[in-house]
Structure 1
Amino acid sequence: MQVLTDKDVVIMPAARFSYMTNDIPYRYRQNTNFLYLSGFHEPSSVLVLEKRNGNPYFLLFVKPRDPHTELWHGPMTGVERVGEFGADEGLPLSQLSNYLNALPKSKTIYYSNILTDDDISDNIQQFLASGRSVQDATPFVDYMRVVKSEAEVNVMRKSVSISAVAFKEVMKSTKHCKTEAQLEAIMEYHCRMLGAERLAYPPVVSNGITNNTMHYINNDNILRDGNLILMDAGGEFNNFASDITRSWPVNGKFTEAQKDVYNEVLNVLHLCTAAVKADGQTNLNTLHAYSTQLVEQALKRLKLPISGESSVRRYYPHTIGHWLGMDVHDVGTVSNELKLMPGMFVTVEPGLYIPDEPDIPPELRGIGIRIEDDVLVTKGNPYIFTKDVPKEVKDLEAICAS
């Protein structure tokens, strides 16, 4: 609220309730900026933040309780109980247009264009088109979200701990599984049993050559002896995501070639993680530049054909990491140039994806490996929240054999 003056008003609608097909809904997930500001999980609502006489004032427009809606979709909060979410005032959604039209034209409107109910969107758009001064609210909220409070850090710790246990259970169960889908099912089962609301994103569960497809989410192949598994997955707990990647052998034992590539990726991970510092200079872009230098050195040691930065991208096409929080790729408007500060969460996820092509040494063809940790920026050394998920070769082989 510090950025607001008495002349400013923030208007943000809730995410719409969506359907897979006729009468079959998706599970509802609230827009995370709306949720961050309100804590309110219901659709068909609008939050308004303003200042009155210099003091913050929070209004929440909601649908009144309705027996028919509650019969089909469950209990509603209603106007009477929005105070439980910290709102200073609750009003029926039907009064939104009257409230908006009564705002003086001298007010600057900060609005987030969220995919919401058609009638809400129509009302707000009609109001905004009436000669109002409008700014995008999203960047302001995103910058509030990028640095976590102590309470948020604790929720992140729990989210990651759930996923860490689930990952270890998947590794232990690999020897009993025949398909990628079974590994995915084990991951989701343990995340949900330990309290996660859902998986934070569609997981990547691949083996063999499909490890080299960044967003492979079909997860429908047979596990083949001699292949490496690549799993990129995480649970969402209390609306905070975890995001972990590990790579390990289907049969529980790395070949020498797989081990060589794996240890090169692991070395990049260790060095880049150590560089996650709030030193006034480091940001995600400088981390990525550093990782690219390290990967280039690794490619030379592996005797893979390279000729400059474009060749490095042949084997390492993504960046070293991203912000992490309520969304997996968190706070999308925050620049990677922003200097790291204590309380920020970043992923560190180097990878090597070696194509199955004639100019590649035969023993390395088709090997794809990524290792990803969730890291908290502190005033001192970085804290690795995913440290309990095995990633050393000996530890991976041991847990797969257990």
Structure 2
Amino acid sequence: MKKLMNSWNKMSLVKRIIVGLVVGIILAVTVPEQAKPIVIFGSLFVGALKSIAPILVFFLVMGAISQHRSGHETNMKSIIVLYLLGTFLAGLVAVIASFIFPVVLTLSVEGVKNVTPPGGIVEVLKALLLNIVDNPVKALFNANYIGILSWALVLGFALKNAPDTTKTMITNFSDALTQMVKWVINFAPLGIMGLVFDAIATSGVSAMLSYGRLLAVLLGCMVFVALVVNPIIVYVNIRQNPYPLVFKCLRESGITAFFTRSSAANIPVNMTLCEDLGLDKDTYSVSIPLGSTINMAGAAVTISVLTLAAVTTLGIKVDMPTALILSILSAVAACGASGVAGGSLLLIPLACSLFGIPNDIAMKVVGIGFIVGVIQDSCETALNSSTDALFTATAEFAKWRKEGKEIIIKKRVA
């Protein structure tokens, strides 16, 4: 048993997660009733990550800002540009794909009872701004990362002139929380096993078959963004083969995000990945939680595809200028998705209003979104979260390239 445990611990985390994934699938297919108790592993894993993420972000950002050295660049401007560019291009890809592969829906109202979408883009942005000034204790309690970031930044600046002992204490808290995250992540194989078992045993894939074409367009767009659009963006910045970095981020961040279906739960995973890549802690401690709220390529794809599916179903003609406006609207709305209950799906009526589609019909489209959400939301989260780490690393590596450190980049992603 001891030799078995040693062999297990020597395996890379990704390999252990794949083992947990395979075991979860086998148990769900063969003995779903007998193995039902393992669902608790998934709940505990996601719960632990969600619980520690807000306080981790708060102390990391506060510590990074309070100890920030004058003249030390953090690349935040470059990262934000990459976030916004990636989200817009994802929406544009979804619009083009919807023109090439139009989808006709059979509208349903399932899953949309007692759900209220935002009234307009102004309401979405207003909610986003109000989250910035949310009560700090409430922000931590509700995992409002926009609020957590804003208060951590303010406190960090206020503590810049604090005694070194105070800054050391904050650093010690950050280090301790980071260590706790590593302990939690070591249980990822068990957590993934429970999550994949629960997904297959309770939902299965039979409910998705009638929406095969819609799912094909949704997932096709997300795959295209992940494997074509994002690599092009990375290559333009680092001028090296982008795929080792792209695949590393998908493998080590995308897999856990796919099964947790929570960008918040994946923040600690992304921070650990950034640490492994040797990135600047002052940068990724801010960019990763920020990315979980504004870097929403997957959400932009979902909003664009489902909106144009409704347009096609109703026989509405769309010209290219209007389609371009939809891409921009999807990108802006997606950035505010985290502040709206229900995420990207509830922003579909907002996009549908651009074409004069009544709200009751738009909500039926949302209902279809809930039906395919088991697969769509998992892939959307995997794309969103893995891209947070990808673009953070891209901005850092672009800086290294300018400094003549191309060899170091290759070593980091090996």
TM over 0.5: no
Which structure ranks higher in relative contact order (CA pairs < 8 Å, sequence separation ≥ 6)? 2
Higher relative helix content: 2
Higher relative strand content: 1
- Coarse TM-score class (shorter-chain normalised): under 0.3
